[in-house]
Amino acid sequence: MIFFLQIINKIYAQVDNKSIENNHSFNDTNIRKIQFKFNSLVYVKNNEYFNEIADGYTLIGYYLNPKMSIRLHEKVQIDAGVFLRKEYGRNGLKEIEPTFTVQIKQKDWRFLFGNIEGNLSHRMIEPLLSFERVLSKPLEHGFQAKYQKQEAFFDGWLDWQQTTIAGQTNQEKIWAGMSYYSKAVELKGIKFQAIAQASIYHSGGQNIQNIQPVRTMINPTLGLRIKKEFNQNQAFTLDNYYVGYFESPLQGTAYYLNTFWQNPKYQIGFSYWGGHYFNAPFGNDLMQSTSRKFNNESHYEESRNVLITRIVRDWKVSSKVVVSLRIEPYYDFKNRIMEHSEGLYLKCNL
């Protein structure tokens, strides 16, 4: 504890989640040759929360996505399969969905139509996109443009979550976003990288029988990453972000300050969240001002100040199979509560 406190006094990034991202790889096989692919995640995540903002619960289960893939052209690929999700403690499957993706590759750009690369693959910060969505909402549907070349990264997408029909009660729900990491600039062995992200969520629709208000929530983010790399694939990273919230006539701001140490086997990080009148529709529940706790929707906290310790240990069983252990203690300064979350994940991507 003394060691951790000494570090906290000097430094305040969320950890690297690439090991369990869901990505649609572009085949390196011959044109018109069919290839079988298999993606799965077995998980258990336990949230021990005792505040008035977020519920405590356990998620345990697995999902599978077998699919067939074919390159129709050197730049065009089609993936088609089925997605199955099982939650332990429930009879039958929680979710069964067909999956279909058309992917076009142009140099370092990829354009996806249908099922897109969602959740963790957007590489959004946790206040805007909770890590837990890789478990609770694994599929996203819509359009996506992605670019990656060395450290430079861009992801722009539209996820159509719910549609509506005139005369019915369902609102249409649409989520669009952008995640940008600039090319790194190196000065005296230290890399500097600019980061910009934005999330836009809209719910509404015309000619529907629904008394819920039309809502448009906007969350822009600006950040700076400072990274020092060492021998044996080790690195020390500082991430600092300014985050906004706009939903007419409401608005809020927040600071998200992070650091982590990374080597091939483990990561240790610290994050400080200071939010004021902040809300993001898909962000980490603990970072919101409006309560998401069951039967406690009226509870509101103007400010949220949370310190998070992140400990990640990855075991690379093979190039296609990874086991990841994640332990995250939280300290809520305002309510003086110590909380924690633990997770174990087995990722297969064949």
Q: What is the pLDDT of residues 98-110, one digit of tens each?
A: 999 999 999 999 9
**pLDDT at res. 20:** 76
> In angstroms, rounded to a whole number, what is the distance separating the alpha carbons of residues 156 and 111?
10
- Residue range 104-145, pLDDT digits in tens: 999 999 999 999 999 999 999 999 999 999 999 999 999 999
The DSSP bridge pattern shows strands 303-316 and 266-276 to be antiparallel
Q: State yes or no: pLDDT of 311 exceeds 60.
A: yes
Cβ pair 202, 159 in contact under 8 A = no
Share of the chain above pLDDT 70, in %: 95
Reported as a pLDDT band with limits 50, 70 and 90, residue 44 is: very high
> What distance lies between CA 82 and its chain's CA centroid?
22
For residue 14, the model assigns a pLDDT of 63
> Long-range contacts of range 92-96, CB-CB < 8 Å, 24 or more positions apart?
94/61, 95/63
Q: Which residues are CB-contacts of 189 (< 8 A; sequence separation ≥ 6)?
A: 228, 229
Q: What is the pLDDT of residue 21?
A: 79
Residue 248's pLDDT is 87
Mean pLDDT of 187-196: 94
Determine the 3-state secondary structure of 320 from DSSP.
Answer: coil
Distance CA 90, CA 124 (A): 31
Which domains are present in the chain?
Answer: 2-349 (2.40.160)
What is the rounded CA–CA span in Å between residue 122 and residue 133? 11
Per-residue pLDDT band at 6 (split at 50, 70, 90): very low
- Dihedral of CA atoms 291, 268, 121, 220 in degrees, nearest 10, equals 50
Above 70 in pLDDT, residue 163? Answer: yes
Do 194 and 224 form a contact (C-beta atoms < 8 A)?
A: yes
Quick check: 317 and 328 in contact, CB under 8 A? no
299 pLDDT higher than 70: yes
pLDDT at 62 (0 to 100): 96
pLDDT at 171: 85
Q: What is the pLDDT of residues 252-290, one digit of tens each?
A: 999 999 998 988 788 899 999 999 999 999 999 999 999
Q: What's the pLDDT score for residue 297?
A: 82
How far, in Å, CA of 318 to CA of 237, rounded? Answer: 27
The pLDDT-based confidence of 15 (bands split at 50, 70, 90) is low
- At 275, is the secondary structure helix, strand, or coil? strand
Residues 229-256: b if buried by 16+ CB within 10 A, e if exposed: eeeeeeebbbbbbebbbeeeeeebebbb
- Is the pLDDT at 210 greater than 80, yes or no? no
* Contact (Cβ atoms closer than 8 angstroms) between residue 71 and residue 32: yes
320 pLDDT more than 80: yes
CA gap 78, 332 in Å, rounded: 47
Residue 219 three-state SS: strand
Give pTM, 2 decimals. Answer: 0.88
Whether pLDDT at 78 is above 50: yes
The pairing of strands 76-87 and 303-316 is unpaired
The pLDDT value recorded for residue 60 is 95
Residue 21 and residue 118: Cα distance in Å, rounded?
A: 8
Model confidence pLDDT, tens digit, residues 239-254: 999 999 999 888 999 9
Whether the CB-CB separation of 37 and 22 falls below 8 Å is answered with no
Residue with the two structure tokens 């159509």 = 160
Q: Is the pLDDT of residue 211 over 90?
A: no
CA distance 350 to 348: 6
Paired strand residues for 254: 243, 275
pLDDT at 69 over 80: yes
Q: Where are the alpha helices (DSSP H) in the chain?
A: 2-10, 133-136
Mean pLDDT of the region 180-202:
94
